[in-house]
């Protein structure tokens, strides 16, 4: 094992990553990820545990967040501040599962956006495949999401809502959320190194997108501007499909979903390539 | 940057003495002095990459400079290369390029085998995780497998001497402990190429000693690149040296030769600097040294140059403005690289009533090849009559014998002529003064 590794030859020269074609880029990155699975595991364990190690409440945070969230939405709806439109499931259940899926998207985005930043402490020390960091970030996000989802489903049962059996397809249905979130996030991660303001702006804009995604209200609110905004927002199809597969066992407008999924995939592949050719030259500016 | 990975033809033959492990060809790297501009260029490059353009890297843009300029060298297994240079000469940048942390702007670097790096000592640890957890994480980043880490775990802990702190968060460690742990992880499993940046800047004497031993072990099996601005460590450990100045290679080759030239050059600069700074003279001035201070090697007779091993003569007149009894004359040689007084010769005369001449001959001085400043003192008990720092300097040119670090006082003979009277003293190594006449 050692001798094999010891004969590994690395060549560093300017723009060598540009010399690889797009298709090769993805293969090399995928291979790097497989190679660094041990590293991914170690970093995941370290950061996932560390995030709970320093807090008194520890893992309880996972339960507190959705409960507080749900309370505030219900308060807004009950007081009539928020007009949620007509729904066929109890509002708390509707809003909880919707915001959970939105949280999944934002989680992917934030995870990817932090890819270079979390590696900062080791960036100036030795070379290692940065792709590993993305996977570690996403894995951490998924671990948190799994716990949140379990809590969410529990709450759904309390409201008498049984998830559809098609909910087992969620990992597949939510995949485009990963592509879009991580795709935008990876670019954000690169931009954050040289122009942190742009990344902050992107964070705000993405946060605002939630208001034109029908997750805290139904999509049947008769307002023409809101309707067209909802219609053109790809997250409408992606987030609502993830929600609806759990609630009703169906996709939210399959055609819209498929188009949005395709676009997300392209965005991800493009930003992956961009990340691949740019990270080396950008991380040197982090030192 | 790991994109082009291939296995060499002799993949199964194992480590071979003399195989080229590092090959650097016409490598240049530029940096930007201004943060804002640097960020701007970064953004431009990012947009360029998005559009699929290659950024031209040959020319310097506003605010940029060459941190490394057209470097070429090879390093083989069994070789230890010391990189010398003042701060900002590009030493650490070179290591970072070799470690693959940043890509070169021009040229090509080939690195064969596993790399262990210690750049920026004591970093890379997660402060909230324990020493044990950090060993596994950092070991993995360095490319070790779980099995290797399990096998070497005890060695790492032993070397780092973290003992009962093993399960405490690294944030509670002292800087020395962190440095030890970092060094232990990077070197316990000896890599093919070991990159070390100023490892001797931290840690105590014992740790330094063990680092030296560890590095010596590594040199037998791998190639080592050691960056330091302390030439004595490089002379001790390396068989080749590279002298960088403003990103360019000034000299490259035999360690004694390159290091000798480097120390001569830098110590001369620091000597001149010290002499120019006005604080070089103190004391009452009742008895005072005057020009001309003569320093020469007994054999060569050339002033201010001595060959290592030959006698060194210091001659300096003094004037007596007010008579004093029990006057002590002393001469110190100050090693300007280390900044410490190295050799002391002194004698005491019963009284000084007239002008005179002090003459001191050091026999077979085992000095290092560098510039020494000569510091002269005239004292009476606690009273300083004259303290003359940097009265003169002497360039010691290299010769064969290695200096002995044990002897503090070297054999010397002193003559003090005062008016008609003449005093002579002889000193054996380390012994007390013996007045001859």
pLDDT tens for A25-83 read 888 888 888 888 888 888 888 888 777 766 666 667 767 777 787 788 778 777 877 66
Rounded-to-integer distance, Cα A89 and Cα B84, Å: 73
A20 interaction partners in chain B (CB closer than 8 Å): 3
E strand or H helix that includes residue B412:
strand B412-418
Pairing of strands B383-397, B305-307: parallel
B83 strand-pairing partners = B227, B242
A10 interaction partners in chain B (CB closer than 8 Å): 1-2, 4-5, 100, 110-112
Average predicted confidence (pLDDT) for chain A: 84
pLDDT tens for A267-283 read 999 998 888 888 877 87
State yes or no: pLDDT of B434 exceeds 60: no
The residue-averaged pLDDT of B17-41 equals 86
Contact B118, B42 (CB under 8 A): no
Compute the count of residue pairs across chains A and B with CB atoms less than 8 Å apart: 182
Rounded-to-integer distance, Cα A82 and Cα A84, Å: 6
Q: What does the CA dihedral B387, B389, B391, B392 come to, rounded to 10 degrees?
A: 150
A32 interaction partners in chain B (CB closer than 8 Å): 2
Confidence of residue A7 (pLDDT cuts 50, 70, 90): low
| CB contact (8 A) between residue A195 and residue B129 | no
Pick from B211, B232, B229, B416: nearest CA to B316:
B416
| CB contact (8 A) between residue A7 and residue B8 | yes
Contact A12, B111 (CB under 8 A): yes
State yes or no: pLDDT of B313 exceeds 80: yes
Rounded-to-integer distance, Cα B93 and Cα B2, Å: 19
Residue A86, SS3 per DSSP: coil
pLDDT tens for B330-389 read 888 877 666 666 666 888 888 888 888 998 888 766 677 777 888 888 998 888 898 887
Rounded-to-integer distance, Cα B413 and Cα A185, Å: 77
Please give the share of chain A, as a percent, with pLDDT higher than 70. Answer: 91
B387 strand-pairing partners = B282, B377
Higher pLDDT, B14 or A193: A193
Beta carbons within 8 Å of B252's beta carbon, 6+ residues apart: B73, B240, B241, B242, B243, B258
State yes or no: pLDDT of B268 exceeds 80: no
Give the one of B119, B140, B143 whose C-beta lies nearest to A5's C-beta: B143
Burial tier of A20 (Cβ tally within 10 Å: 0-12, 13-18, 19+): middle
DSSP-assigned states of every residue in B285-306: -SEEE-SPPEEEETTT--BTEE
- H helices of chain A, in order, are 2-6, 22-35, 37-53, 61-78, 91-113, 115-118, 120-123, 131-158, 170-173, 175-194, 196-209, 224-232, 234-247, 254-283
Rounded-to-integer distance, Cα B82 and Cα B238, Å: 6
Give the one of A7, A32, A280 whose C-beta lies nearest to B112's C-beta: A7
Nearest chain A residue to B222, by CA: A6
Provide the CA A140 distance to its chain's centre, in angstroms.
Answer: 11
Higher pLDDT, B83 or A156: B83
Half-sphere exposure at residue A89, Cβ-oriented, CA atoms within 13 angstroms: 25
pLDDT at B337: 66
B320 strand-pairing partners = B287
Give the one of A14, A39, A278 whose C-beta lies nearest to B141's C-beta: A39
State yes or no: pLDDT of B104 exceeds 60: yes
pLDDT at B81: 94
Long-range CB contacts (within 8 A, 24+) of B63-66? B63/B32, B63/B33, B63/B34, B63/B37, B63/B38, B64/B30, B64/B31, B64/B32, B64/B33, B65/B30, B65/B31, B65/B33, B65/B247, B66/B28, B66/B29, B66/B30, B66/B246, B66/B247
Q: What is the ipTM of this complex?
A: 0.78
Rounded-to-integer distance, Cα B141 and Cα B128, Å: 18
Q: What does the CA dihedral A161, A164, A167, A173 come to, rounded to 10 degrees?
A: -110
State yes or no: pLDDT of A88 exceeds 90: no
pTM: 0.71
Rounded-to-integer distance, Cα A66 and Cα A48, Å: 19
Give the one of A12, A43, A191 whose C-beta lies nearest to B1's C-beta: A12
pLDDT at A249: 87
Instruction: Indicate the DSSP class of residue B230.
Output: -
Contact B195, B116 (CB under 8 A): yes
Contact A280, A21 (CB under 8 A): no
pLDDT at B248: 92
Residue B325, SS3 per DSSP: strand
Pairing of strands B324-335, B371-380: antiparallel
- Sign of the Cα pseudo-torsion (A109, A115, A120, A122, in order): positive
B107 interaction partners in chain A (CB closer than 8 Å): 13-14
pLDDT at B269: 67
């Amino acid at each position: 094992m050692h001798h094999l590794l010891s004969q590994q030859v690395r060549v560093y020269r300017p723009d060598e990553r540009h010399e690889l074609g797009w298709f090769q880029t993805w293969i090399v990155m995928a291979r790097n990820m497989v190679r660094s699975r041990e590293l991914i595991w170690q970093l995941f364990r370290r950061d996932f545990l560390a995030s709970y190690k320093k807090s008194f409440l520890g893992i309880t945070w996972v339960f507190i967040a959705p409960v507080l969230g749900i309370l505030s939405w219900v308060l807004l709806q009950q007081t009539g501040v928020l007009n949620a439109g007509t729904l066929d499931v109890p509002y708390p259940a509707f809003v909880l599962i919707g915001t959970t899926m939105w949280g999944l998207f934002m989680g992917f985005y934030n995870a990817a956006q932090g890819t270079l930043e979390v590696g900062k402490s080791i960036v100036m020390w030795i070379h290692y495949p940065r792709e590993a960091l993305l996977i570690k970030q996403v894995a951490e996000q998924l671990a948190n999401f799994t716990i949140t989802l379990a809590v969410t489903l529990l709450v759904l049962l309390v409201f008498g809502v049984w998830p559809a059996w098609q909910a087992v397809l969620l990992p597949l249905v939510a995949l485009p959320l990963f592509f879009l979130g991580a795709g935008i996030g990876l670019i954000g991660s690169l931009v954050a190194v040289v122009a942190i303001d742009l990344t902050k702006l992107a964070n705000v804009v993405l946060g605002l997108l939630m208001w034109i995604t029908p997750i805290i209200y139904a999509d049947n609110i008769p307002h023409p501007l809101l309707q067209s905004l909802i219609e053109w927002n790809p997250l409408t199809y992606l987030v609502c499909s993830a929600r609806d597969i759990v609630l009703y066992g169906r996709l939210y407008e399959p055609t819209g979903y498929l188009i949005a999924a395709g676009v997300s995939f392209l965005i991800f592949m493009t930003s992956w390539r961009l990340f691949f050719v740019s990270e080396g030259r950008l991380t040197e500016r982090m030192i | 940057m790991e994109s082009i990975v291939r296995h060499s033809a002799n993949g199964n033959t194992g480590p071979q003495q003399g195989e080229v492990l590092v090959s650097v060809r016409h490598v240049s790297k530029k940096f930007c002095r201004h943060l804002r501009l640097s960020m701007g260029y970064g953004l431009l490059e990012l947009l360029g990459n998005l559009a699929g353009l290659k950024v031209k890297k040959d020319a310097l843009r506003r605010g940029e400079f060459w941190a490394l300029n057209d470097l070429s060298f090879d390093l083989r297994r069994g070789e230890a290369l010391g990189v010398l240079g003042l701060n900002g000469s590009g030493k650490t940048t070179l290591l970072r390029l070799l470690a693959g942390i940043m890509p070169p702007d021009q040229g090509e670097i080939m690195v064969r085998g596993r790399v262990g790096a210690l750049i920026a000592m004591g970093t890379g640890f997660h402060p909230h995780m324990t020493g044990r957890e950090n060993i596994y994480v950092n070991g993995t980043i360095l490319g070790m497998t779980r099995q290797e880490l399990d096998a070497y775990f005890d060695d790492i802990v032993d070397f780092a001497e973290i003992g009962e702190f093993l399960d405490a968060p690294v944030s509670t460690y002292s800087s020395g402990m962190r440095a030890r742990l970092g060094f232990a992880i990077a070197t316990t499993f000896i890599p093919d190429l070991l990159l070390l940046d100023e490892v001797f800047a931290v840690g105590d004497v014992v740790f330094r000693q063990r680092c030296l031993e560890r590095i010596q072990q590594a040199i037998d099996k791998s190639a080592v690149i050691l960056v330091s601005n302390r030439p004595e460590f490089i002379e001790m450990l390396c068989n080749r040296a590279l002298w960088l100045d403003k990103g360019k290679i000034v000299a490259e080759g035999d360690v004694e030769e390159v290091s000798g030239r480097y120390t001569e050059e830098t110590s001369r600069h620091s000597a001149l600097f010290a002499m120019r700074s006005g604080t070089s003279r103190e004391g009452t001035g009742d008895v005072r040294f005057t020009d001309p201070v003569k320093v020469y090697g007994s054999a060569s007779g050339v002033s201010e140059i001595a060959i290592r091993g030959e006698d060194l003569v210091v001659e300096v007149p003094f004037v007596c403005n007010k008579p004093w009894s029990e006057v002590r004359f002393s001469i110190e040689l100050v090693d300007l690289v280390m900044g410490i007084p190295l050799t002391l010769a002194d004698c005491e005369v019963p009284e000084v009533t007239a002008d005179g001449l002090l003459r001191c001959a050091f026999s077979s001085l085992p000095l290092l090849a560098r510039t020494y400043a000569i510091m002269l003192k005239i004292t009476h008990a606690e009273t300083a009559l004259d303290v003359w720092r940097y009265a003169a300097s002497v360039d010691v040119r290299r010769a064969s014998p290695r200096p002995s670090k044990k002897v503090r006082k070297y054999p010397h003979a002193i003559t003090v002529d005062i008016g008609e009277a003449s005093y002579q003293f002889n000193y054996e190594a380390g012994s007390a003064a013996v007045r001859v006449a």
